[in-house]
Chain A
Amino acid sequence: MIIADRKPLDEIVGMVSDAKKILVLGCRGCVTVCSAGGEREVEILASLIRLGMLKQGKKIETIEGTLVRQCDKEYIDGIDEWEGQYDAIVSMACGVGVNFIANLRPSTNVYPAVNTSFFGGSADQGVWMEQCAGCGNCVLHLTGGLCPVARCAKSLMNGPCGGSVNGRCEIHPDVECIWQSIHDRLGRIGNAEAMNTIAPIRDWSTAGHGGPRKSLRDDLTI
């Protein structure tokens, strides 16, 4: 899922400081699961925005709403429910959701309440780890299922680099050297010789270096 973290409150309050009525809009998708922008976080943020504005001697009205998903045409129309009741929207969805809302409401201010951080998973309660970078040309079949693009600090295709020490990355001892783990894992699954294959220079054009990407499924369009 997409992992996000709430922006610092002074930044959010600064965005809305001229507004009188705002819609604080959550999303029941990824940001609910990573506790950044679901229904509960909407309630908390709305309260914190009101308090932040009170501190500046201003009053702001907040409407709280949460859509099933903000990244889906089928669901964002749900925003019509609050039409005419706000003069700005604070979206707690990931950047995708904020863009979708901005596309839908061309003349309304839409502000992001979270920093969209990465594609990851929940490693422990309250801990999320980056696992994939959406490079558009997956190599996991060559690397034992562990991603060197997202999990190697240098996104090396032929690792480890010379800085790897005792399975730890040279950027920080807390960071696993994923290439050491790939090597160990390939050994365990009887494919150690795969490490001898030198990966060619990679074509990154699928990774967003050629402008915004689009996925089209003819069999699904009507």
Chain B
Amino acid sequence: MTFTPDIQAFCCHYTSQQTIAEGKEGLKEDGLPANVTFNRVVCTGKLQVSTLLKAFEEGADGIYVVGCPADKCHNVKGSQRAAKRVDAIKKALAELAVEPERIEMFHLERGFHPEFVEAAQLMNKRITDLGPCPFKGEAK
């Protein structure tokens, strides 16, 4: 059976300009996997741990966060804070014996560049290889 992961991407306003400018069709042409859903936030520093966990509870197989380069964040330290929160979730996943690499942080330049789509492709490949998230086991 083929497995198509549910991947939730949380991107800041600045790094996800491409999603707005190109629209769905344009991104598809660039090679963006259709199973990646974008959630735009004003700054990744605003993202709470609980918001990312909720995405797992709602069925995500993988999650990634895209914020500005660590030393060039529009809001100074926003993407550094986000990276710390992603690390905290990686640790929590490990404590629950779930693969920590199901969540990842990417620091990308703003604007138009192929790395934005590459991050989505990388996560899609990684999570497809890992298989369905263990949190999705049928509840008894």
Contact = CB atoms under 8 A, between A and B. Distances in A.
Partners in one complex: yes
Contacts of A55: 96-98, 134-135, 137
A10 B57 contact: no
A58 B135 contact: no
Interface in A55-83: 55-59
A81 to B, nearest CB: 22
> What interface size band does chain B fall in?
10 to 19
> What interface size band does chain A fall in?
10 to 19
B20 to A, nearest CB: 30
Contacts of B136: 54
Given A54-B135, A55-B134, A48 B97 contact: no
A57 B96 contact: no
Given A44-B49, A44-B53, A58-B140, A51 B135 contact: yes
A48 B54 contact: no
B139 interface: yes
A15 to B, nearest CB: 14
Contacts, number: 48
A50 B53 CA distance: 10
Contacts of B54: 47
Interface string B99-140: 000000000000000000000000000000000001111111
Contacts of B49: 44
Contact of A57 (B53, B56, B57, B137): B137
B25 interface: no
B93 to A, nearest CB: 9
Contacts of A130: none
A40 B138 CA distance: 28
B92 interface: yes
22 contacts: A9-B92, A9-B95, A10-B95, A10-B96, A40-B48, A40-B50, A44-B53, A48-B92, A48-B96, A51-B56, A52-B96, A54-B57, A54-B135, A54-B137, A55-B134, A55-B135, A55-B137, A57-B137, A57-B138, A57-B139, A58-B139, A58-B140
